[in-house]
């Protein structure tokens, strides 16, 4: 009878060790789960820039992922990912004043009616699209 009792206890102990407790695994699972990244569609900077791009003629020459007449927004975002505040302001001024030679020979048209604030908001939007 003692042997049966000891064998049962050992079996139960072995089963518990092999299966593990739910408390032990929950901590490991939380650590290994990939944290969800916040959605851009919830970002007010993204939403403002998206609206500005949509109301202007930006999509005539630019697409998010593909080079069209001008570079894709992702190419621009990758190029200026670590840009200083002054560099970002310079990009905004190129949106307003137009430019040529930075991305090839195709000239970017002027957007002289655009405010500096709106141009900077578009730059901020584009930089959110970095790969």
The DSSP result for the chain, as a single string, is -HHHHHHHHHHHHHHHHHH--HHHHHHHHHHHSPPPPPPGGG-HHHHHHHHHHHHTTGGGT--SSS-SSS--HHHHHHHTTT--HHHHHHHHHHHHH-B-SSSSSSPBPP-TTS-HHHHHHHHHHHHTT--
Question: How many CA atoms lie within 13 Å of 59's alpha carbon, on the beta-carbon side?
Answer: 9
Q: Is residue 55 over pLDDT 80?
A: yes
| Domain definitions of the chain by residue range | 40-127
- pLDDT per position as a tens digit, 83-115: 999 999 999 999 999 999 999 898 999 999 999
63, 54 Cβ separation under 8 angstroms: no
pTM: 0.69
Residue with more model confidence, 11 or 73: 73
Residue 31: the pLDDT is 47
Name the percent of the chain lying above pLDDT 90: 60
Q: What number is the average pLDDT over the span 25-30?
A: 50
The CATH class, in words, for 40-127 is mainly alpha
Q: Is residue 7 over pLDDT 50?
A: no
Output the average pLDDT for the chain. 80
Measured distance CA(71)–CA(64) in Å, rounded: 9
- Nearest in space to 77 (alpha carbons), one of 90, 88, 61: 88
Q: What number is the average pLDDT over the span 60-72?
A: 93
Residue 13: the pLDDT is 43
Residue with more model confidence, 1 or 123: 123
CA distances from 64 to 7, 10, 75 (A): 67, 63, 9
Phi, psi of 108 (to 5 degrees): -85, 130
Residue 37: the pLDDT is 60
């Amino acid at each position: 009878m003692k042997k049966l009792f000891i064998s049962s206890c050992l079996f139960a102990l072995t089963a518990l060790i092999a299966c593990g407790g739910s408390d032990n695994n929950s901590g490991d699972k939380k650590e290994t789960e990939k944290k969800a990244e916040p959605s851009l569609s919830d970002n007010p900077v993204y939403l403002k820039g998206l609206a500005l791009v949509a109301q202007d003629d930006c999509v005539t020459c630019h697409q998010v992922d593909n080079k069209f007449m001008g570079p894709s927004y992702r190419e621009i975002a990758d190029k200026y990912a670590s840009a200083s505040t002054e560099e970002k302001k310079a990009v905004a001024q190129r949106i307003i004043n137009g430019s040529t030679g930075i991305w090839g020979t195709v000239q970017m048209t002027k957007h002289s009616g655009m405010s500096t604030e709106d141009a900077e908001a578009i730059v901020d939007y584009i930089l959110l699209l970095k790969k």
